[in-house]
Each structure stands twice: as C-alpha cells, then as structure tokens.
Structure 1
C-alpha cells in the first residue's frame, strides 16, 4: 500500500526553502533601513533597485514553495539568527559600514542556500529540479547584489575611515562584475514573476507532473516509486482542487460545456489516484494503472493548453490573467497547508 509521503529528503529541502523565505523578508527590511540611512544619491539608487529586486524575489520564493508542493516552517536556529541580526540592524551598536557589511554577508548566505537547494534537487529528483527552476532568478540576482554591496562597502568604508571619497577605479570594476552577473540572470531565468499569467503557472504544474510520471515509469525501485507517487498524489490533488476553486468558475462563462468536461475528468483522476494509492508500488499492476492515469492527465492537459488557454487569452485582459494566477497560487498554498496539518 502506498502511504502518505513523508520523505525526509524532500522535507529537508522544504525546510531550507522556508529558511530562505524568512531571510528574504529580513533582506527587504534591511534594504529599507539602509536606504533611509544613506544620503549619497548614487548609493540610494542602488539600494532602491535592490529593494525592488528583493521584493520580487520574495514573490518568486513563494511561487517556488507552492510549486514544490511540500510546506515547512523556518527552523528555530535560523529564526533565532535572523532575530539577532534584525536587532543589530535596528540598534546603534553597529556603524553604517558594519550594517552594510552584515547585509552583504546575508546576501552571500542566501546565494549559497539557493545553490545548495539546486544541488540537492539534482540528487533527490527531477521533479524537484523542475519545480525550483525559478529559483535561478533569486540566486543570480543575489550574486549581482553582492557585487554591488562590495562597492558600497568600499565607498562607505573609505569615507568612514578617512573622511574622503574613495577613488572610483575599484567601483568601476565592481560595476563590471555586477553587470556580468546580471547578464547571467537574463540568460538563466525566465520571465519576471510579475509577468506570470495563469497559463504560465498552470503550464509549470503540468511540466512537473509529467516529470513525475516519467520518474515512476522509469524506476524499478519500489521505494523511489512510492516517493514519486506520494508527490504526484499531492500535486495532482492540490492542482485540481485549486483549478476548481479559481480557474474553472472564471472560464465557464466563455468556455461553456467544455468546462464541465474538465471538472469530470479531474474527479475521475482523483478516484484513480485513490485506487492506485491502495496498491503495491512494486507490482506490475501498479504501473499499468499509472499509465492509465498518465494518459488521462495528459489528455486533460492537452485540452487545457490547446483550447482553454486560448479562450482565456481571448476573453481576459493581461491584468485579469495575472490576477487569476495569483488567486490560483493562493488556493494551492492554502490546500497544501491544510494537507500538511
């Protein structure tokens, strides 16, 4: 019998993602505090840009967590560390130079956490790699921010130590390095989170589910099959319920009777999921049923992507498509949290 997924590797990655979200929230607070403490117009402009990037990166982290499909809480150790750093950033014990230096260290920690999650995903499962792909945005922008902060540390530090402005040679070199890192962002990441429409979000879910099907059918390890099916079960359940709460009611007025067909297909898929859940993952019958489920889901996906997506584009404005994406993601997150309880 396939039990409810409780895989320690996936939970460990979920915990790390929760830590990254908590740290990202602190980075935003620090951006705002440093912005208010700095008079230099060029440095202020850079912190304004970093604040905008960090706010968007928090949205990306939220999306990655929802797409990943496993919810966790920030670890006690990390929360304690963040509380201590926030207290220092609020207080008078640190100089402005110290605070900028502390901010750069946090950026480094965030960058390394994102890289670590990617490396772990390569070991744990291809579906995780697909789910966390947007994390590239956060990783590369944090790397670019580190280079900017090195230049800020030089300017603020020289001024604090000598009372004079730093020469611009090193600052120009830092700008070059930052531009190179920013170039990597453009080549390694997809669209900005604010540009994500409901079609983009649904397509990401579809791709992840397809990866899970392939992992199950290609594996002969019953433990790995159980692990992948556990994730597939949760992803399909949450995805279908969130669609039925947000997407299908929106499209019914212009998608007509085809909408009911989508409802019915998902109800049948959930019944098949429950049937497979009671089976032995090492049996040939298990994979036979998985193939039936895969065929049904892929047919459902083709209908959505070939006709429903077009109907949405033709009947909903860009803002409405983005708002529907936001509502869908919120519904998914709520359902995931309920399942975690």
Structure 2
C-alpha cells in the first residue's frame, strides 16, 4: 500500500472514532483511548518518517503540519484529562475533531497529490510498507508512551527538528 493511501485509511479510522464518540452510544472512555492511540501512532509515523521523507516537496506545508500536530496534541491532552461527564467534554471533542479535519483536508487535497506527482509509485509503496510496520509498533506502545507529559513539549517539537529516519523521498 502506498504511504499516502495508508495515511488516508488511518484518517478514515479516526473520523469513524470521532463519530462514535459524538454519538454517545459507545463507552466514551474506551473510544477516547482508542482515538488517542490511533492519533498518537498516526502522528508519530507522519512526523518521524513521512514528513522527513517528503519535506522538500512542500516544505511550508510540512512545517505547518508539525505545528498542527502540536496544537492537536495539546487539544488531545486536554480532552484526555476531561471526564466524559464534564460539561467541557463535548466542546473539547468538537475542537479536536475540527483541528484534525482541517489538517486532514490539507494533507489529502494539497500535500498527498504533490507527493504523488514527485515520488514514484515504488518508493511510495516502500515507504508505506515501512510506515505500516512502524504504525503497528507505535499503536502497541500506546498514547501514554508517545505523548510527552505536560503542555510545554509535544512530539511535533521533537520530530520537526530531527533528521529524517528513512531518508528523503526519491522521485
């Protein structure tokens, strides 16, 4: 599976979890934990593998993506610290969902098409295979291991300044 297709599939999963959380029909704590795990693992593979590999294609959008991840991570931390019975819970779900929707829209409408024009099918598939394995590892670690404690540092801060793990994408 191409890296972009893998990320889109993960976007759909997160959207589904937001719908479950908003419906009120599922146990909020369980859905929220699954959402947090999915988001944290997804952000990790984007920040550590995908973005460094394609950074030169749309550097301004990649830098913005790191910032959006940082803000989404803070919103996720606030949501995780809120009881589902708290009157702020629904507002925090909505805020995080809207942040993620904006980010997904930019990736799927701007970044992914640009990447697919420059990076060859074979390289995208190779990157996708690597990212899928990394995602499974990160998902198993869980959000508590992936999200730095507190509000001063985010995983995006660390990743945006790191060197690429899998090298630059080849056209």
TM norm structure 1: 0.41
Partner of 1:198: 3
| Consecutive aligned runs of 4 or more in structure 1 exceeding 4 Å deviation | none
Q: Distance in 1 between matches of 2:58 and 2:100?
A: 19
More helix, by proportion: 1
Find the partner of 1:228 among 8, 15, 31.
Answer: 31
Aligned to 1:289: 92
Partner of 1:113: none
1:14-53 Cα offsets, whole Å, 9 max, x none, are xxxxxxxxxxxxxxxxxxxxxxxxxxxxxxxxxxxxxxxx
Offset of 1:289 from its aligned partner? 0.5
Pairing 1:171-250 to 2, within 5 Å after superposition: 196-219=1-24, 224-250=27-53
Q: Which has the larger radius of gyration?
A: 1
Query: For 2:46 and 2:129, how far apart are their aligned partners in 1?
Result: 12
Q: How does 1:1-341 map to 2 (within 5 A)?
A: 196-219=1-24, 224-339=27-142
Tell me, which stretches of 5 or more residues in structure 1 are unaligned? Answer: 1-195
Could you say which residue in structure 2 is the equivalent of 1:142?
Answer: none
Name the SS of the counterpart of 1:253 in structure 2: coil
Q: Tell me the equivalent position of 2:157.
A: none
2-structure distance, mates of 1:240, 1:277: 17
Q: CA RMSD in A?
A: 1.6
Question: C-alpha distance in 1, partners of 2:114/2:133?
Answer: 23
Residues in 1 aligned to 2:61 and 2:46: alpha-carbon distance in whole angstroms: 14
Q: Paired residues, what number?
A: 144
2: distance between equivalents of 1:306 and 1:220? 32
Q: Which runs of 5+ in 2 are unaligned?
A: 146-171
Return the structure number with greater relative CO, CA threshold 8 A, min gap 6. Answer: 2
Structure 1 residue 252, shift from structure 2 partner: 0.7
**TM-score, normalisation: structure 2:** 0.79
